[in-house]
Amino acid sequence: SVLSMFKWYFDRFKFEYGVVGLCLPPWRMEDKEGNTPLHTALVHGAPLRCFRNFLKFDRELVTHQNYEMETPLHLLSKGNQLYPSISNYISTLCSVAEMV
């Protein structure tokens, strides 16, 4: 996947140069509201496999706050009309957050 390719690139850069790249990996970038791609995916009702893919690369995304101090969990709890089985999503994200 594209995320896998980006992760490989950033991991290789870190290995070869001993530092993290000068820019953030794409899954850590923020829009003008401070939302990461995971925040945006939640707002737009992306499927659970999308969340799992993001969290597979960076588990700390689940605790990232936007400028309104909302984590992806906050956005998920607001969007229960988009997610009829919201408890499954929240339990998945909470279990990942516990590992961080």
Number of domains forming the structure of the chain: 1
Closest CA to 64 of 38, 83, 92: 38
Q: Per-residue confidence at 67, pLDDT binned at 50, 70, 90?
A: very high
Look at 5 and 40; give whichever has higher pLDDT: 40
For 21, the domain range is 2-99
Model confidence band, residue 2 (pLDDT cutoffs 50, 70, 90) = low
- The string of pLDDT tens digits covering residues 14-63 is 776 665 545 667 788 888 899 998 998 888 878 778 888 888 888 888 89
Output the domain CATH number for residue 92.
1.25.40.20
pTM above 0.85, yes or no: no
Q: Crossing angle for the helix pair 48-57 and 2-17, nearest 10 degrees?
A: 10
